[in-house]
């Protein structure tokens, strides 16, 4: 009898020990995740009862907490909400959080491990806990210029410091006001959510980094890079017929303008954006070389850090006709504006790809430094020699080619235009991606429904917006 009791006691002791271990492990390992889970209503109610840190662009508070008179003690206020929405995201009692409001929630609420000592001191002193502020890399002047440039258009602009990867401007149009979702009028918040999601213009879509589109001729930078890495030079000549019958099909590829002869140099082909020439380059290099080069620039993988980008795609299993189309950024090639900004940035940075990021610093309420972001290099997309050759080629595109509308006196500008067909029922997409040497900035502009006739070209529609953004950074 005593032996049976001892066995039951031992089992009960083991169960109690297991329970204690589980509780301790949950407290130590899962608290942060549970606190930052946007679906945790109990935590959310507590967070709406205390000040939340600001999200800053320079000295401008893109998002900040203000006292409220309704059912919450505090509410989120968004300065120029639609302009900054794809960066800040929203902070909503019903719908949780998105973008930086979610990525840096622990810091903004003051619940991250780095602020543990400050929380303890606040508890001892009876002070109301305060979250840390998040300092972004966004340049307000460049952001405003990009926003104004896209006024009335669907599209996106991304600007990067190509030496560090710091994002200087990040705009998507049309956009939405996060304040509509941060209101303490919960019925109004639900209506706003329904209206935004029902809007056919998709104002909550992040066209800058979380949507992918056919990049068209802007992708010729990748094809040119693959050719130069394979031993070609800017003076290597390639067949450039007025039309090219795609292998194994009855379809012909055409050029929008004369290329300058039946055989032109790689430099000339990029300058005038010769489709048939680049299709022939792609056919000679093959799909594997094109894909490998695209992946070195970041295709087929997502950028890390706090950006949370979509994955740009170079297709697999191509036949010859599909390879030719892919070489000019058509068929199933798809890229985000962020990705194409990274392509231009890597070329301008002598081939080195830097990881894009939004946040430079996190500072506690007493301004003490909590976190500092250091630039991170991802990989060498092309050799320094190839990058410098591409720089010269892109500068010719702007000085005397399809990108002349991107010229800015006093600055060395390189770039590439792009016009991409999506489907026959809509106008094409317009692209311009390029860089300004003296400012260490790379910018990609993407415009949906770019219009008809001349306005279809990236040079006519997107390049002027590029110029506006760079001029804002120039000051």
pLDDT at 417: 96
Give the model's pLDDT for residue 425. 66
**What are φ and ψ of residue 210, in 5° steps?**
-115, 15
* Cβ neighbours for 186, distance < 8 A, ≥ 6 positions apart: 93, 94
Q: For residue 467, is pLDDT > 50?
A: yes
Residue 344 in this model has a pLDDT that exceeds 70: yes
DSSP class per residue in 307-350: T-PPPPB--SS--HHHHHHHHTT-TT-BB-HHHHHHHHHHHHTT
Residue by residue, DSSP assigns 198-233 as: H-TT-TT--TTTS--B--GGGGHHHHHHHHHHTT--
Task: Tokens for 30, please give them.
Answer: 């899962």
Query: What confidence tens digit (pLDDT) does each residue in 124-183 have?
Result: 555 666 889 999 999 999 999 999 999 999 999 999 999 999 999 999 999 999 999 998
- CATH superfamily assigned to domain 216-359+375-474: DD-peptidase/beta-lactamase superfamily (3.40.710.10)
The pLDDT assigned to 454 comes to: 42
Q: Report pLDDT digits (tens) over 416-429.
A: 999 987 666 667 89
- Strand 377-380 to 352-354 pairing: antiparallel
Mean pLDDT in residue range 222-229: 98
pTM: 0.89
- Segment of 13-22, 194-203, 249-258 carrying the highest mean pLDDT: 194-203
1 has pLDDT over 60: no
Give CA–CA dist 160/167, Å, rounded.
5
Q: Mean pLDDT over residues 272-288, rounded?
A: 98
CA distances in angstroms from 470 to 134, 142, 345, 407, listed in the order given: 25, 7, 14, 10
Mean pLDDT of all residues in 284-313:
95
Q: How far is CA 466 from CA 86, 149, 461, in A?
A: 19, 9, 10
Residues with a known catalytic role? 217
Q: What is the pLDDT of residues 46-77, one digit of tens each?
A: 677 788 999 999 999 999 999 888 788 889 99
In this predicted structure, which of 112-121, 337-346, 372-381 has the lowest mean pLDDT?
112-121
Q: Please tell me what DSSP assigns to residue 406.
A: G
Number of H helices, E strands in the chain: 19, 19
So what's the pLDDT on residue 253? 96
- pLDDT above 80: residue 200: yes
pLDDT given at position 427: 75
- Please give the full DSSP string across 106-117, using - where no structure is assigned: HHHHT-SGGGHH
Alpha carbon separation from 50 to 108, 186, 369 (Å, rounded) = 11, 19, 21
pLDDT at 31: 47
CA distance 473 to 8: 75
- Determine how many CB atoms are found less than 10 A away from the CB of residue 183: 19
Q: What is the dihedral of CA 463, 355, 285, 444, to 10 degrees?
A: -10
Average the pLDDT over 93-122 and give the result: 83
Gap between the Cα atoms of 54 and 36, Å rounded = 17
CB atoms within 10 A of CB 162: 27
Q: Give the domain ranges of the chain.
A: 216-359+375-474
């Amino acid at each position: 009898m005593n032996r049976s009791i001892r066995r039951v006691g031992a089992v009960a002791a083991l169960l109690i020990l297991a329970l204690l271990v589980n509780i301790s492990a949950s407290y130590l390992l899962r608290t942060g995740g549970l606190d930052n889970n946007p679906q945790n209503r109990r935590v959310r109610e507590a967070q709406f009862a205390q000040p939340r840190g600001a999200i800053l662009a320079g000295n401008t508070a893109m998002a900040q907490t203000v006292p409220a008179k309704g059912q919450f003690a505090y509410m989120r206020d968004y300065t120029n909400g639609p302009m900054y929405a794809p960066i800040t995201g929203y902070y909503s009692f019903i719908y949780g959080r998105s973008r930086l409001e979610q990525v840096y929630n622990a810091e903004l609420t003051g619940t991250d491990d780095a602020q543990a000592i400050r929380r303890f001191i606040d508890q001892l002193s009876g002070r109301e806990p305060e979250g840390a502020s998040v300092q972004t890399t966004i340049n307000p002047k460049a952001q405003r210029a990009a926003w104004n440039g896209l006024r009335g258009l669907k599209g996106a602009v991304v600007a990067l410091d190509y030496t560090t990867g710091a994002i200087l401007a990040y705009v998507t149009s049309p956009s939405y006001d996060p304040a509509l979702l941060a209101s303490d009028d919960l019925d109004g918040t639900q209506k706003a959510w329904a209206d935004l999601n029902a809007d056919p213009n998709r104002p909550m879509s992040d066209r800058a980094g979380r949507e992918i589109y056919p990049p068209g001729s802007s992708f010729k930078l990748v094809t040119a890079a693959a050719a130069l890495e394979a031993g070609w030079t800017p003076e290597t000549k390639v067949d450039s017929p007025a039309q090219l019958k795609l292998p194994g099909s009855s379809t012909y590829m055409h050029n929008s303008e004369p290329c300058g002869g039946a055989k032109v140099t790689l430099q000339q082909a990029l300058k005038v954006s010769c489709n048939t020439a680049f299709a022939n380059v792609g056919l000679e290099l093959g799909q594997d070389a094109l894909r490998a080069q695209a992946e070195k620039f970041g295709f087929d993988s997502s950028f890390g850090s706090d950006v949370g980008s979509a994955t740009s795609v170079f297709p697999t299993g191509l036949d010859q006709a599909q390879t030719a189309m892919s070489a000019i950024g058509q068929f199933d090639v798809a890229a985000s504006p962020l990705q194409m900004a990274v392509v231009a940035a890597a070329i301008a940075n002598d081939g080195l790809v830097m990881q894009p990021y939004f946040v430079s610093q996190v500072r506690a309420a007493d301004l003490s430094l909590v976190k500092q972001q250091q630039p991170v290099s991802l990989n060498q997309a092309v050799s320094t020699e190839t990058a410098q050759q591409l720089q010269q080629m892109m500068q010719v595109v702007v000085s005397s080619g399809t990108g002349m509308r991107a010229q800015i006196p006093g600055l060395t500008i390189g770039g590439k235009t792009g016009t991409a067909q999506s489907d026959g029922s809509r106008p094409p997409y317009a692209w311009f991606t390029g860089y300004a040497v003296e400012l260490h900035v790379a910018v990609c502009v993407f415009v949906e429904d770019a219009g008809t006739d001349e306005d279809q070209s990236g040079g006519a529609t997107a390049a002027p917006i590029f110029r506006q953004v760079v001029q804002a950074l120039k000051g």
